[in-house]
Chain A
């Protein structure tokens, strides 16, 4: 399969073309869901559970209904009459247990923040006024909060029907790990605690549902990553003909996986529109976001690594415990973080003996879902920390230790002991480039000099891999109705401009700009000659949407195929008009040109005009086909994902008196396959890194022993702000995948995946001479000080 670009014209792919979508956005002229006002629209607010675990004994809404402006109030039972529950089970994993989930709580509440009652009023303020007038009697039950505790025999069961709080357990074993550990000269061990965090998209989750009771059709505007998934869900669960359901995702103010899921409150809003026949708007406020947007991480990991005297990794073992809230997310499941943790930790390294186990437990906290990077940041942090410990055990430089243990360049294609298939990675090249970029040797000297002055600086290096664009072999067997195909329709307009309808959706990643570049390149037109339409299940081809860094790789490939077909259709018409063979022609600078010498023959606009208005000038049997649709789905005989890779480095200073960490510099060398737009890729990496740094240093959902979230506000849940973040230097290596013509792999999660690990390594590098190591993130001043204190005892 060829990755060759047409050589006869200047390439647009690979250029840092600015995103045209930004023109309106920087003027404040975007259109986000909450910006939309529909006539007769009602505002919806929820009464949410104040308790983590309780039986609902009685709900009294009489007084609330009498409050000013209140139009309707619905309970779980009201909504359940027209809406079926969903379930986070997977057909091919019979051991994975999950309870059915209803839009609103039915007999019991299972986390603080679970929606119970929907209040619809003329204004949001009025709906909120009525909250105090809804009276709910609860019978409080003991809350299952601690993941270890959840597995104890005495633990209360969250869903008695499941018979256990253990959702699933997965094991991987390769080679003979026990024997290898027994024989090894050095075995290093460590425990890790990963705090719970959440996505904190700046635009909260938002939905407007507009059900037309006359035509029994439903239009939903939703701040979401997958309009198709939601169309399918509304059609299935609300029993509306799918062709009458249309989901539109207008501008979306950040998503990161938070907006990929099925949320009870959003479905309840849609159901409320069906029940009332009026448009209904629900926009989560920030406090609701904290207790209802999907959370992530919350893992306890134990790991061991065996290493030989000459610094070769021989065996590795990971035991992961993952707490996921009270339900598995339907269609996305709750096991993925755990699975990725045990399949991807230390995956860039060549060792043969491995054992991985993950246990997934339910607890009475908000649900865990697929937040940027999913389990890969955990895998990276565990793997890279263990590698640092192993390097220290054999007194090797951690960078050289990595180089020595990386999968060799001649070993591809390669399947790791953990079970991942790598087509081709560029580990060695990335590391070499990083070493030069960061001036590694000089930096180590500087670090040493500072240490002598009592200043503790750390250098961290973290190698990461990023599985992107999960395909049908992954999702298909789950029967989860997740589409992994992407589609693209191209329409040549009479003026020679092009409309592109893609199934990819946009939350700011720049995917649609990349797609425009692909189309522009293939059709020999400018990016400004293309307008991209996306995020509308009613008009664009069906697809998955945007998740798992799939936009460029999948939707880009579909666009490439469509553009090549449209090009050939255009040239066929042009050839007829010019009395030449299509093979003799090419498209360049909006003209039809001779392939052999580039000489211009006619304007593309002229062909477009004739094809649309003057078909009388064409041969009788020639049908101009100026609208083309193509799809892309990964082949079934290749792995169900592409694997991108890269390496990050951090240089930071730990104030050993206060535990405050100052970030000095940060570098990343990333290989995301074929690069469509380097600027967009850089910014994806930078933004992802800062999100990861947020998780590493600042972000944590604090819960008390009763399952109450203690910091559900932006004043108390700290996110990274500009002052503390470093400048980030990004470079690239390009190893295109050969599984597609385009060769792009994906980059949306790379920065985040490596960042927690690189911080962990850097901090422990700084603390190592003091004999201290951190075992728990986020690395708050207290965590650092505690680690230091232990060394004094």
Chain B
């Protein structure tokens, strides 16, 4: 199919883009990498009046390091994240997630801002941002505001972003030296969205004897199950303070089953997804336990 009729503006400044957003409201659509939007246009699933191209706006792209944080411009392409040394060093969770995002030609154009704004429940980057407690900077004509990733995703393909706002920057705390992470997703083909995925970070209390070592902090996010990335707060709370062993893993899986409420889709029924999520949780905890040294 061919895209419906629309107008197109190649915005050269953020102000211009925000002005147009104000003017057209929900009739306008931002185009960043176009790797999701163009497909919906070609299928006539989206019929905006005007497309606002933000690709020519200076300063929206790139990965920067500050003392505590990593700042990622919304227009940063997936490929830049994948190739970035800063990301490898300070955001290892994202580094391990990126190879699962789409394929080379799509990564060359797709952007982090687009992926987060799209809010696909089975996408990797939203889940990682929730796990890493990222904050998003949203700009509009009336100024800027900051929203935590944990509050940003509100439902299926929906976010707290207002129609007149542009996501401009993502700020993620640097990974502490002792911090651990785990990322895995289940899918049938390389580069597909996940059937079920898990992104997690953890911190460990040190102790000479392995039995004394315990989890100081833990954040497990499951994606591909509910209508947005699910932070397993209860399950994590239950695990914090314990050292991971067979018993805590079994208990954690039970907690997950109470906490997670998957929706069925073509890739699986709810019970199948729930099962897969427990498998991923077990794998994540076993991997952390091996890192910590409580299980070999």
Residues from chain A with a CB closer than 8 A to the CB of B43 are 287, 713
Q: Could you tell me the distance between the alpha carbons of A718 and B3 in the complex, rounded to whole angstroms?
A: 24
Q: How far is the CB of A705 from chain B (nearest CB, A)?
A: 15
Interchain CB contact under 8 A, A721 and B44 = no
Among the listed B44, B190, B266, B272, which residue makes an inter-chain contact with A781, where contact means beta carbons less than 8 Å apart? B272
Interchain CB contact under 8 A, B279 and A657 = yes
Q: Could you tell me the distance between the alpha carbons of A702 and B267 in the complex, rounded to whole angstroms?
A: 11
Interchain CB contact under 8 A, A782 and B190 = no
Name which residue of chain A comes closest to B1, CB basis. Answer: A285
Task: Decide yes or no: A782 and B266 within 8 Å by CB, A128-B2, A658-B279 being known contacts.
Answer: no
B140-191 contacts to A (CB < 8 Å): 186, 188-191
Interchain CB contact under 8 A, A781 and B1 = no
Task: Decide yes or no: A702 and B266 within 8 Å by CB, A658-B276, A781-B272, A785-B272 being known contacts.
Answer: yes
Cβ of A723 within 8 Å of any chain B Cβ, yes or no, is: yes
Interchain CB contact under 8 A, B2 and A781 = no
Cβ of B4 within 8 Å of any chain A Cβ, yes or no, is: yes
Interchain CB contact under 8 A, B1 and A698 = no
Residues from chain A with a CB closer than 8 A to the CB of B268 are 780-782
Name which residue of chain A comes closest to B4, CB basis. Answer: A129
Cβ of B269 within 8 Å of any chain A Cβ, yes or no, is: yes
Name which residue of chain B comes closest to A127, CB basis. Answer: B2
A660-686 contacts to B (CB < 8 Å): 660
Among the listed B1, B269, B272, B279, which residue makes an inter-chain contact with A287, where contact means beta carbons less than 8 Å apart? B1
Task: Decide yes or no: A781 and B189 within 8 Å by CB, A125-B2, A128-B1, A129-B4 being known contacts.
Answer: no
A696-728 contacts to B (CB < 8 Å): 697-698, 702, 710-711, 713, 715-716, 718, 721, 723-724
Cβ of A403 within 8 Å of any chain B Cβ, yes or no, is: no
Q: How far is the CB of B57 from chain A (nearest CB, A)?
A: 28
Name which residue of chain A comes closest to B195, CB basis. Answer: A781
Cβ of B104 within 8 Å of any chain A Cβ, yes or no, is: no
Residues from chain B with a CB closer than 8 A to the CB of A697 are 188
Residues from chain B with a CB closer than 8 A to the CB of A716 are 266
Cβ of B275 within 8 Å of any chain A Cβ, yes or no, is: yes
Interchain CB contact under 8 A, B189 and A724 = yes
Interchain CB contact under 8 A, A660 and B188 = yes
Among the listed B1, B266, B272, which residue makes an inter-chain contact with A711, where contact means beta carbons less than 8 Å apart? B266
- What string of 1s and 0s marks CB contacts (under 8 Å) between B1-33 and chain A? 111110000000000000000000000000000
Residues from chain A with a CB closer than 8 A to the CB of B186 are 658, 660, 781
Q: Could you tell me the distance between the alpha carbons of A123 and B2 in the complex, rounded to whole angstroms?
A: 10
Cβ of A414 within 8 Å of any chain B Cβ, yes or no, is: no
Band of interface residues on B: 20 to 34
What is the total number of residues of chain A having a CB less than 8 Å from a CB of chain B? Answer: 27
Residues from chain A with a CB closer than 8 A to the CB of B4 are 128-129
Among the listed A129, A285, A710, A724, which residue makes an inter-chain contact with B266, where contact means beta carbons less than 8 Å apart? A710
Q: Could you tell me the distance between the alpha carbons of A707 and B144 in the complex, rounded to whole angstroms?
A: 49
Q: Could you tell me the distance between the alpha carbons of A721 and B190 in the complex, rounded to whole angstroms?
A: 8
Interchain CB contact under 8 A, A723 and B189 = yes
Task: Decide yes or no: A780 and B188 within 8 Å by CB, A125-B3, A128-B1, A129-B4 being known contacts.
Answer: yes
Cβ of A124 within 8 Å of any chain B Cβ, yes or no, is: yes
Name which residue of chain A comes closest to B193, CB basis. Answer: A715
Residues from chain A with a CB closer than 8 A to the CB of B188 are 660, 697-698, 718, 724, 780-781
Instruction: Choose among A123, A711, A721 the residue with the greatest number of B CB atoms under 10 Å from its CB.
Output: A721
Task: Decide yes or no: A724 and B190 within 8 Å by CB, A711-B266, A785-B272 being known contacts.
Answer: yes
Name which residue of chain B comes closest to A698, CB basis. Answer: B188
Q: Could you tell me the distance between the alpha carbons of A285 and B3 in the complex, rounded to whole angstroms?
A: 13
Q: Could you tell me the distance between the alpha carbons of A238 and B4 in the complex, rounded to whole angstroms?
A: 35
Interchain CB contact under 8 A, A721 and B189 = yes
Residues from chain B with a CB closer than 8 A to the CB of A124 are 2
Residues from chain B with a CB closer than 8 A to the CB of A718 are 188-189, 192
Q: Could you tell me the distance between the alpha carbons of A715 and B191 in the complex, rounded to whole angstroms?
A: 11
Q: Could you tell me the distance between the alpha carbons of A92 and B214 in the complex, rounded to whole angstroms?
A: 79
Name which residue of chain A comes closest to B276, CB basis. Answer: A658
Q: Could you tell me the distance between the alpha carbons of A657 and B277 in the complex, rounded to whole angstroms?
A: 11
Q: How far is the CB of A207 from chain B (nearest CB, A)?
A: 18
- What string of 1s and 0s marks CB contacts (under 8 Å) between B114-127 and chain A? 00000000000000
Q: Could you tell me the distance between the alpha carbons of A785 and B44 in the complex, rounded to whole angstroms?
A: 37
Q: Could you tell me the distance between the alpha carbons of A781 and B279 in the complex, rounded to whole angstroms?
A: 13
Q: Could you tell me the distance between the alpha carbons of A124 and B2 in the complex, rounded to whole angstroms?
A: 7
Residues from chain B with a CB closer than 8 A to the CB of A710 are 266
Q: Could you tell me the distance between the alpha carbons of A780 and B269 in the complex, rounded to whole angstroms?
A: 12
B188-219 contacts to A (CB < 8 Å): 188-192, 195
Residues from chain B with a CB closer than 8 A to the CB of A781 are 186, 188, 195, 268, 272, 276
B240-277 contacts to A (CB < 8 Å): 266-269, 272, 275-276
- What string of 1s and 0s marks CB contacts (under 8 Å) between A58-80 and chain B? 00000000000000000000000
Q: Could you tell me the distance between the alpha carbons of A698 and B187 in the complex, rounded to whole angstroms?
A: 11
Residues from chain B with a CB closer than 8 A to the CB of A721 are 189-191
Among the listed A660, A724, A782, which residue makes an inter-chain contact with B272, where contact means beta carbons less than 8 Å apart? A782
Residues from chain A with a CB closer than 8 A to the CB of B267 are 780, 782
Instruction: Choose among A697, A716, A718 the residue with the greatest number of B CB atoms under 10 Å from its CB.
Output: A718
Q: How far is the CB of B285 from chain A (nearest CB, A)?
A: 14
Q: Could you tell me the distance between the alpha carbons of A781 and B275 in the complex, rounded to whole angstroms?
A: 11
Residues from chain A with a CB closer than 8 A to the CB of B272 are 781-782, 785-786
Q: Could you tell me the distance between the alpha carbons of A45 and B131 in the complex, rounded to whole angstroms?
A: 47
Residues from chain B with a CB closer than 8 A to the CB of A702 are 266
Q: How far is the CB of B139 from chain A (nearest CB, A)?
A: 31
Q: How far is the CB of B177 from chain A (nearest CB, A)?
A: 32
Interchain CB contact under 8 A, B5 and A129 = yes
Q: How far is the CB of B239 from chain A (nearest CB, A)?
A: 20
Q: Could you tell me the distance between the alpha carbons of A118 and B1 in the complex, rounded to whole angstroms?
A: 15
Instruction: Choose among A125, A715, A718, A781 the residue with the greatest number of B CB atoms under 10 Å from its CB.
Output: A781
Q: Could you tell me the distance between the alpha carbons of A129 and B2 in the complex, rounded to whole angstroms?
A: 9
- What string of 1s and 0s marks CB contacts (under 8 Å) between A263-292 and chain B? 000000000000000000000010100000
Q: Could you tell me the distance between the alpha carbons of A697 and B187 in the complex, rounded to whole angstroms?
A: 12
Q: Could you tell me the distance between the alpha carbons of A72 and B167 in the complex, rounded to whole angstroms?
A: 46
A763-784 contacts to B (CB < 8 Å): 780-782
Instruction: Choose among A129, A287, A658 the residue with the greatest number of B CB atoms under 10 Å from its CB.
Output: A658
- What string of 1s and 0s marks CB contacts (under 8 Å) between A184-225 and chain B? 000000000000000000000000000000000000000000
Interchain CB contact under 8 A, B189 and A698 = yes
Name which residue of chain B comes closest to A661, CB basis. Answer: B188
Residues from chain A with a CB closer than 8 A to the CB of B266 are 702, 710-711, 716
Interchain CB contact under 8 A, B44 and A128 = yes
A711-765 contacts to B (CB < 8 Å): 711, 713, 715-716, 718, 721, 723-724
Q: How far is the CB of B162 from chain A (nearest CB, A)?
A: 28
Q: How far is the CB of B3 from chain A (nearest CB, A)?
A: 7
Residues from chain A with a CB closer than 8 A to the CB of B269 are 782
Q: Could you tell me the distance between the alpha carbons of A346 and B143 in the complex, rounded to whole angstroms?
A: 73
Q: Could you tell me the distance between the alpha carbons of A129 and B266 in the complex, rounded to whole angstroms?
A: 30
Name which residue of chain B comes closest to A43, CB basis. Answer: B2
Instruction: Choose among A123, A124, A780, A786 the residue with the greatest number of B CB atoms under 10 Å from its CB.
Output: A780
Q: Could you tell me the distance between the alpha carbons of A602 and B189 in the complex, rounded to whole angstroms?
A: 61
Q: Could you tell me the distance between the alpha carbons of A191 and B278 in the complex, rounded to whole angstroms?
A: 31
Instruction: Choose among B2, B3, B195 the residue with the greatest number of A CB atoms under 10 Å from its CB.
Output: B2
Residues from chain B with a CB closer than 8 A to the CB of A698 are 188-189
Name which residue of chain A comes closest to B272, CB basis. Answer: A782
Q: How far is the CB of B122 from chain A (nearest CB, A)?
A: 11
Residues from chain B with a CB closer than 8 A to the CB of A123 are 2
29 contacts between A and B (CB under 8 A): A123-B2, A128-B1, A128-B2, A129-B5, A287-B43, A657-B279, A658-B276, A658-B279, A660-B188, A698-B188, A702-B266, A710-B266, A711-B266, A713-B43, A715-B39, A716-B266, A718-B189, A718-B192, A721-B189, A721-B190, A723-B189, A780-B188, A780-B268, A781-B188, A781-B268, A781-B272, A782-B268, A785-B275, A786-B272
Known: A125-B3, A285-B1. 10 other contacts (CB 8 A): A123-B2, A128-B2, A129-B5, A660-B188, A711-B266, A718-B189, A721-B190, A724-B190, A781-B268, A786-B272
In the A-B complex, the 8 residue pairs with the closest CB atoms: A723-B190, A125-B2, A657-B279, A782-B272, A782-B268, A285-B1, A658-B186, A721-B189
